[in-house]
Amino acid sequence: MRVIDYIFLLKKKCTVEEEGIGESVGLSTSEMHCIEAMHPKELVSGIELAKKMGLSPSRGSRIIESLMEKNLLRKEIDSSDRRYCVISLTKKGERVYFHVERSKLQCDKRIIEGMDSEQIQQVKEGLRTLLNVM
């Protein structure tokens, strides 16, 4: 198998995991990524949030609106500049954020449970190298 074949296979398996985590909280993968991009108590503009997710402002806006309808995000006028709005997680959004983080930790444990510390380091170094060259 070529390196790219391994990458595609890994991507496919990660997508299944990712979709499962999103489904467990009633979110699409894009919506889950938006929640992950936020941090509890953080205030960001819609444009900043879209950039964090690597999306266009219009696509980011649609995801933000969807999450606001689900009562996971709230939009407020920026107190320092009333021309702008800031976005933050609601209490429900914070609960979903922490659920997603716990699910990712459980997934991480499943992945590394059969490896020793040297193998874990090798995998991490290999993944970092791939990210840097791609």
pLDDT tens digits, 98-134: 999 999 999 999 988 989 999 999 999 999 998 899 8
- Residues 15-25 as b/e (b if ≥16 CB within 10 A, e otherwise) read eeebeebbeeb
Model confidence at 45, pLDDT cuts 50, 70, 90, reads: confident
Q: Model pTM?
A: 0.83
From the DSSP assignment, how many helices (H) and strands (E) are in the chain?
6, 2
* Integer Cα distance of 39 and 18 in angstroms: 19
- Contact by Cβ (8 Å): 85, 46: yes
* Integer Cα distance of 123 and 43 in angstroms: 35
Domains assigned to the chain: 3-133 (1.10.10.10)
